[in-house]
């Protein structure tokens, strides 16, 4: 297995979605849940109700690394769904005033919705780097979020990671049909096996 890099020093943010959602994403961008209709929702309905109560449905959530507990849970619960990881540079998030929640937003009675710099510094990176998902505190830190306050356009995507050549080709075909050009790349290790 390859060496795990320090998450704090990485450059990207990650958003897991079903391949079925790519047509709409390439046409209109990655939208907050409150602006969506007719898409393949991969999130847990009970969690969505709690997120709505916290008014988080007006943001597009990204995670700080691939293979986080959310990604694994969604993929395990939907074994026949093909997924991709849409990435953006953290510098894009910082420049565009994205918000940060330094732990899972449902890990307590309230959330800390912070400006990017303050939120980034509030994350317990040492705990996150340990990736001890059997420890509830660590698991919560590993699901810290960076939230885009509106539509994230394909022009802001860095790269779309795919689990295999078949999904990569499908992703490329959907981009051609939409007139979009985003880098893609197969990286099977980023997906639940």
20 is catalytic: no
The answer to the question of residue 2 being in a domain is no
Per-residue pLDDT, 34: 76
- Compute the half-sphere exposure of residue 122: CA atoms within 13 Å on the CB side of its CA: 18
The answer to the question of residue 1 being in a domain is no
Residues of the chain with pLDDT under 50: 1-3
145 is catalytic: yes
Terminal alpha carbon distance of the chain: 14
Long-range own/partner contacts, residues 5-10 (CB < 8 A, 24 or more apart): 6/125, 6/129, 7/64, 7/65, 7/125, 7/128, 7/129, 8/123, 8/125, 8/128, 8/129, 10/64, 10/65, 10/90
Q: What is the pTM for the complete model shown?
A: 0.90
Per-residue pLDDT, 100: 96
Per-residue pLDDT, 55: 76
Number of domains the chain contains: 1
What residues form the annotated binding site for NAD(+)?
15-17, 24, 51
Q: Where in the sequence is the domain holding 165, given as residue range(s)?
A: 7-190
The answer to the question of residue 116 being in a domain is yes
In the set 76, 132, 145, 166, the catalytic residue is: 145
Per-residue pLDDT, 105: 77
The answer to the question of residue 152 being in a domain is yes
Per-residue pLDDT, 104: 86
In the set 28, 51, 121, 131, the catalytic residue is: 51
């Amino acid at each position: 297995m390859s060496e795990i890099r320090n998450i704090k020093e990485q450059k990207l943010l990650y958003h897991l979605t079903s391949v079925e959602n790519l047509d709409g994403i390439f046409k209109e961008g990655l939208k907050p849940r409150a602006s969506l209709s007719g898409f393949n929702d991969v999130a847990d309905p009970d969690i969505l109700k709690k997120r709505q109560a916290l008014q988080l449905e007006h943001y597009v959530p990204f995670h700080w690394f691939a293979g986080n507990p959310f990604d694994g849970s969604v993929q395990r619960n939907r074994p026949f769904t093909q997924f991709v990881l849409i990435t953006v540079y953290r510098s894009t998030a910082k420049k565009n005033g994205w918000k940060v929640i330094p732990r899972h937003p449902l890990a307590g009675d309230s959330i800390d919705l912070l400006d990017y710099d303050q939120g980034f510094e509030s994350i317990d990176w040492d705990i996150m780097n340990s990736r001890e998902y059997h420890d509830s505190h660590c698991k919560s830190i590993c699901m810290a979020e960076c939230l885009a306050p509106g539509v994230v356009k394909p022009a802001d995507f860095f790269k779309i990671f795919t689990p295999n050549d078949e999904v990569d080709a499908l992703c490329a075909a959907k981009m051609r049909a939409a007139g979009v050009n985003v880098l893609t790349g197969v990286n099977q290790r980023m997906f639940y096996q």
